Amino acid sequence: MKLKSSYIAVALAAVVVLAFPAFLGAYYLNVARSVMTYMALAISWDMLLRSGQISFGIAGLFGLGSYASALAVLRGGMDPFASIIFAAVFAGLMAFALGFVILRLRSMYFSITTLALMEIFRIVMHNLHDFSGGPEGVVLPVVIFNGDAPALYWLCLAGLIITIGVSWYFEKSKMHLALTAIRNDETSARSNGVDIFKYLLIAFVVTSTLQGMMGAIQVQSYGFTAPETAFDANFTLLPLAMALLGGIHSTIGPMAGAILLGIASEWLKLQIPYGHLIVYGVIIILVILFMPQGLLGMARKMIRAGRKAGATHE
């Protein structure tokens, strides 16, 4: 019964998502892409969070992917589509190298370091005038698929589906046991054969690869990037807020949060330009104060309460 309803939900969502380009104009497809990009980032952030490591560096890997892709096309003459794969691998390799150092850190020390890394990436791109275009950034000669709105939508959707797939695998495989054990109790994990560093490194590299991929898709879709665009703090803060609102330590939570906050933010942007960030801040504070487990946690609580009520009636 439960399995059936979840299959129906997935099928319905698939139909809606696949039908979008047929019904929506370029503006709404653009909004959908923005929501999907944030959703993928929210999910990838959550995947690392399942190990207890809180990254503030999403925008760093995202921006790194953007630049890797743009510069590969511009300076290396790479095919735009191939450059997305290149950028994803590049972000993953950077995470692998950096991970050896920073994954020895825990809690706020790890968080602050990822934040600092993001700043370093931004400053480097800001100052490498000849290579990265400096503060003005870079403009690509052509937008991928010549800017065809449905095609860009499909590309972004593909990136999102890959992210959801990997996240689902993390939930269903032994990664789930490894990351949860590490988050709950490292001593216990070690005593039961969990190679903590190995699993943290896998999670960090995989999530960074996904973030780099989404950055590359973004830059190829807009045909432009600059340090302040690629490393925009919003790419760290919004995914975080979305995951918190929807419910952390799951795939479905960040997805729900991204849909709600993503659509709300587009609407708010039109109503109160720039003021939407204040509303964001308020939402984050309210969520942390009143439903630390997010919407998902609240839904679970309600289901449990419902079951209990049902049981006592019998």
Partner 1 sequence: MSKLTTTDLTKRFSGLVAVNDVTFNMEEGEILGIIGPNGAGKTTFIHLVSGILMPSSGTITFKGKDITYAPAHVRSRMGIARTYQLIHPLENLKVIENVMVGAVFSKDKSLKEARKSAEAICAELELGRLERDTAQLSILEIKKMEIARALANEPEVLFLDEVMAGLNSDETKQIIATVQRIAKERKMAVGVVEHVMGVIRELTHRVIVLEAGELIAEGTYETVSKNPRVVEAYLGGAA
Which residues contact partner 1 (rule: CB under 8 A)?
Answer: 173-174, 177-178, 180-181, 183-185, 187-196, 249
**For residues 260 and 257, what is the distance between their CA atoms, to the nearest angstrom?**
5
Residue 138 near residue 74 (C-beta atoms within 8 A) = yes
Least Å from the CB of residue 173 to partner 1: 7
Least Å from the CB of residue 301 to partner 1: 13
Residue ranges in the chain assigned as alpha helix (H): 2-23, 26-49, 58-74, 80-102, 107-127, 129-132, 149-172, 174-184, 186-191, 196-222, 227-230, 234-246, 252-271, 276-290, 294-313
Least Å from the CB of residue 190 to partner 1: 4
6 versus 184: smaller Cβ distance to partner 1? 184
Least Å from the CB of residue 204 to partner 1: 18
Tokens of 120: 């370093």
Q: What angle do CA 108, 244, 85 make, to 5 degrees?
A: 80
141 versus 193: smaller Cβ distance to partner 1? 193
248 versus 283: smaller Cβ distance to partner 1? 248
75 versus 198: smaller Cβ distance to partner 1? 198
99 versus 212: smaller Cβ distance to partner 1? 99
Least Å from the CB of residue 48 to partner 1: 15
For residue 73, give Cα distances in angstroms to 80, 138, 157, 225, 252: 6, 11, 22, 13, 35
- What residue has token string 């499909």? 154
